[in-house]
């Protein structure tokens, strides 16, 4: 019996030593690869150069536009040349709304041409335009109080900026609310904390039961000017001419590239951004930056020769801005595949400060410990509950986990959002590299540890 116990003890200690060594080697490999990822993503500014090339060569990429389709062609060709395990595209029918002509001018009490951008989906004015008096309101409650004075006028919304989530309701519902009381058109200051004499576009909403009226963004400065006139007892008068076309739906496509997992190739981590933008600026922050950062994540793994356990799938979704058709098509085609995570980056290129996660508590308990791994590189990046994105929302509604990267924009993202100011010069190349790095680290840990 004593001899048996001695043999058992020796075998137990040997096995324990093996397990400890195995775990130790595993952790060493993880930490070594995180260091390699960090070093590789900071060796040059190639990611920013690719971003600038995309934005400069193709400009704004509104769904249905030639610019978008040319950029999709360019991306797919680049991905094929880079030699990933699989590269393909999937057709998506997207809405095609076209901005034709815009003209807005104060004609009383003095003449002043106003910068203007119709909201996406806006109907046209009559071909000859509209000449009408203005009523300025600061809220929907203010509109309700003055509903008897709205008929036949142009409603101008001048709400204070109280964060994007709260203030965007005026862009989304403004035309419907104004039309209910007989307005002939509506205008709204930008959903932005800093206008800089710059209108901002974006998607809007109509209801079939309410007359559809033209709706557009003017600058904060001009909304305030019109309000000052009104407070002095002056009723300003505007000439407004907006011509648009709704051309139905047009073919586009999502572009996908992937590296197959080394151990669990049928378990997928899909990540990316949306390649479409509004027809203003060149969509650098929203969301060329998110697309290029995600692209360079996959590129980093390939160039380093790191093949994670699970398949990494890069997706360039189309039509996030005015329809979500790319996200819906992806869910339709891939909902039965074994997705371990959907991850979207669409928060602007600034210093990364948080990774959000939505999923089962059993996964959260493991993910929250990831901070211990990358704290050496990004001690200020927190891991928080609550992550996702518009493009991945159809998959998340089916029960798949979702994640996203948040950035510390110090309030600046909405300075540029959906405007002519959203260009590559607003992006710091180092911030872009940091975003590439932290996404790559997180996805690598997710693949290897969970």
Domain CATH number, residue 188? 3.50.30.30
Q: For residue 254, is it within any domain?
A: no
Residue 113 and residue 224 share a domain: yes
Q: Residue 450 — very low, low, confident or very high, per pLDDT cuts 50/70/90?
A: confident
Residue 288 and residue 421 share a domain: yes
CB 278 within 8 A of CB 321: yes
Q: Is the dihedral of CA 432, 433, 436, 438 positive or negative?
A: negative
Choosing from 245, 271, 289, the residue where a domain stops is 245
pLDDT at 101 over 90: yes
Q: Which residues are catalytic?
A: 320
- Cα–Cα dist 136/141, whole Å: 12
Residue 426 and residue 280 share a domain: yes
Residue 238 and residue 192 share a domain: yes
Average pLDDT of the chain? 94
Smallest CA-to-CA distance from 394 within 334, 351, 442, 444 is with 334
**Beta bridge partners of residue 295, listed in sequence order:** none
Choosing from 245, 270, 302, the residue where a domain stops is 245
- Cα–Cα dist 443/258, whole Å: 13
Query: Which contiguous run of DSSP H or E holds residue 216?
Result: strand 215-218
Residue 216 and residue 302 share a domain: no
- Cα–Cα dist 144/139, whole Å: 9
Comparing 10-14, 58-62, 280-284, 325-329, the range with the smallest average pLDDT is 10-14
Choosing from 192, 215, 245, the residue where a domain stops is 245
Q: For residue 344, is it within any domain?
A: yes
Using one digit for the tens of pLDDT, what is the confidence trace for 329-382? 999 999 999 999 999 999 999 999 999 999 999 999 999 999 999 999 999 999
Q: For residue 385, is it within any domain?
A: yes
Tokens of 18: 């093996």
Domain range holding 201?
A: 100-245
Residue 302 and residue 241 share a domain: no
Q: For residue 7, is it within any domain?
A: no
Residue 114 and residue 78 share a domain: no
Query: What phi, psi does 108 have (nearest 5°)?
Result: -155, 135
Whether the pTM exceeds 0.85: the reply is yes
Q: For residue 34, is it within any domain?
A: no
pLDDT at 24 over 70: no
CB 406 within 8 A of CB 352: yes
Please tell me the total count of domains within the chain: 2
Domain of residue 285, CATH code: 3.40.630.10
Rounded to an integer, the average pLDDT of 182-210 is 96
Q: For residue 5, is it within any domain?
A: no
Using one digit for the tens of pLDDT, what is the confidence trace for 216-240? 999 999 999 999 999 999 999 999 9
- Cα–Cα dist 371/352, whole Å: 13
Q: For residue 3, is it within any domain?
A: no
Residue 350 and residue 436 share a domain: yes
Residue 390 and residue 267 share a domain: yes
Q: For residue 16, is it within any domain?
A: no
Using one digit for the tens of pLDDT, what is the confidence trace for 407-436? 999 999 999 999 999 999 999 999 999 999
């Amino acid at each position: 019996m004593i001899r048996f116990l001695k043999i058992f003890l020796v075998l137990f200690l040997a096995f324990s030593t093996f397990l400890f060594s195995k775990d130790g080697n595993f952790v060493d490999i993880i930490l070594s690869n995180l260091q390699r990822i960090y070093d590789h993503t900071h060796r040059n500014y190639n990611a920013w150069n690719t971003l600038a090339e995309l934005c400069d060569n193709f400009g704004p990429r509104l769904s249905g536009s030639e610019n978008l389709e040319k950029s999709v062609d360019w991306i797919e060709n680049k991905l094929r040349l880079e030699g990933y395990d699989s590269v393909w595209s999937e057709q998506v029918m997207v809405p095609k709304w076209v901005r034709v002509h815009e003209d807005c001018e104060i004609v009383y009490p003095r003449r002043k041409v106003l910068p203007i951008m119709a909201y996406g989906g806006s109907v046209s004015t009559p071909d000859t335009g509209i000449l009408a008096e203005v009523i300025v309101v600061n809220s929907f409650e203010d509109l309700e109080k003055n509903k008897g004075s709205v008929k036949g006028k142009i409603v101008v919304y001048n709400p204070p900026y109280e964060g994007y989530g709260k203030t965007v309701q005026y862009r989304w519902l403004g035309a419907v609310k104004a039309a209910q009381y007989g307005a002939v058109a509506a205008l709204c200051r930008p959903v932005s904390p800093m206008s800089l004499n710059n209108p901002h576009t974006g998607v809007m909403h109509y209801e079939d039961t309410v007359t559809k009226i033209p709706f557009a963004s003017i600058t904060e400065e001009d909304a305030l000017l019109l309000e000052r006139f009104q407070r002095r007892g002056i009723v300003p008068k505007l000439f407004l001419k907006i011509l648009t076309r709704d051309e139905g739906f047009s073919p586009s496509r999502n572009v996908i590239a992937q590296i197959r997992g080394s151990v669990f190739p049928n378990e997928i981590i899909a990540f990316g951004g949306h390649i479409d933008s509004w027809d203003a600026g060149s969509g650098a922050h929203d969301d060329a930056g998110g697309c290029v950062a995600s692209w360079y994540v996959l590129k980093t793994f390939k160039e380093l020769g790191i093949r994670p356990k699970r398949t990494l799938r890069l997706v360039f979704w189309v039509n996030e801005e005015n329809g979500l058709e790319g996200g819906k098509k992806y869910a339709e085609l891939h909902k039965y595949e074994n997705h371990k995570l959907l991850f979207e980056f669409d928060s602007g290129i600034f210093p990364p400060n948080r990774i959000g996660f939505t999923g089962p508590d059993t996964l959260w308990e493991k993910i929250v410990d990831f901070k211990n791994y990358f704290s050496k590189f990004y001690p200020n990046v927190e891991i928080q509950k609550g992550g996702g994105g518009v493009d991945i929302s159809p998959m998340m509604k089916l029960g798949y986990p979702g994640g996203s990267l948040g950035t510390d924009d110090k309030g600046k993202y909405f300075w540029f959002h959906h405007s002519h100011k959203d260009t590559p010069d607003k992006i710091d190349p180092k911030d872009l590299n940091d975003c590439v790095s932290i996404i790559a680290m997180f996805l690598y840990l997710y693949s290897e540890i969970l």
